[in-house]
Amino acid sequence: MVMAPLTRSRAGEGDAPTPTVVEYYRQRAGAGLIITEGSQVSAQGKGYMRTPGIFTSEQIAGWRQVTDAVHAEGGRIFLQLWHVGRLSHPLVQINGAQPVAPSAIKADGEIYTSEGLKSYEIPRALNLGEIPDVVADFRLAAENAKRAGFDGVEIHGANGYLIDQFLRDGTNTRTDAYGGAVEHRTRFLKEVVESVIEVFGASRVGVRLSPIFNYFSMSDSNPQATFNYAAKMLSRYGLAYLHVVELGAGSFDFRELKRCFGGTYIANGGYDAERAEMALSSGDADLVSFGTAFLANPDLVERFKHGKALNEADPTTFYQGEERGYTDYPTLAEL
């Protein structure tokens, strides 16, 4: 049982984890593996208010307290490395900079800023000379994650963020070495993976993908071909796992994707205990990650083990409320 990454917007000053964040992860150390909420690899990579980073000494120190607490409980924890790309806003960026993306294509939707909800704006397309700098940001973030005591890292290539924007032809209309044919659109992911592997080793690096995720006007003309190719490319590295969000619009053969990767496959997307057991028994997944269920049930492993009822999650506190709806969900022992 894997705890899926969950944005909770509880970071403190300087986007560093607080003691409350430490307690949140400590409570959930019973998971076979915790994958943290996405943590921006640079100031440029930030999209949402109060999300943690992994590029300053204060952020590293805050995360070190988290890893120490989880390890003290016998748990294991990976940090998710994140760059949101176009899903940001000048009000979130340093000096009001435009968010960056593979191409200057605006996302549908709104983002919460210091001035309230704002529509996404047209991003600035990264020039060819800037892309190695972003790859270097991922490598430095991995080095910082290692300093913070993480057992490994997950590269966030899903949910409409920067790597996903490079992968799909609906958001990548470049005509250089990073656009066009699928082998070019996967190049950015390939370079990020290779840079992070140099830090942690392949066996401590995972990748998350979401082939049919369609929020933020994400699309691809042939997702099966695109993501099968990406999975085959990733299969060459001996990664810890491929973590796949199986939610979205349209049909997709996830079994085929799993075969293309060939390694450990983590399934995600609305799984409960019964459906997870079926996926494991049938070979459709090697591991299953749970998001909202872990959010509301710090002792989810015990509840599944003994067939106990689950706490219901309160959506109004997903991204606000400090301790409320964050560290105050009761365990079975407290009921």
Angstrom CA distances, 320 to 3, 7, 138, 142, stand at 20, 11, 28, 28
Residue type, 45: G
User: Are the CB atoms for 248 and 170 separated by under 8 Å?
Assistant: no
If 0-12 CB within 10 Å is exposed, 13-18 middle and 19+ buried, where does residue 194 land?
middle
User: Strand pairing partners for 40?
Assistant: 53, 82
Tokens of 42: 């640079």
The DSSP code for 43 is S
Annotation marks residue 48 as catalytic: no
Tokens of 194: 């290779």
Angle at 9 between CA 201 and CA 44, to 5 degrees: 60
Angstrom CA distances, 170 to 165, 189, 220, 221, 281, stand at 8, 17, 5, 7, 36
DSSP H helical segments within 103-170, as ranges? 131-147, 162-167
User: Strand pairing partners for 82?
Assistant: 40
Query: Look-up: residue for tokens 């690899």?
Result: 41
User: Are the CB atoms for 78 and 206 separated by under 8 Å?
Assistant: yes
Query: Look-up: residue for tokens 């496959």?
Result: 265
State the number of CA atoms in the 13 A half-sphere of 112 facing the CB: 7
Catalytically annotated residue among 25, 112, 120, 161: 161
User: Are the CB atoms for 102 and 163 separated by under 8 Å?
Assistant: no
The Cα 66–Cα 20 span in angstroms is 10
Q: Which residues are catalytic?
A: 161
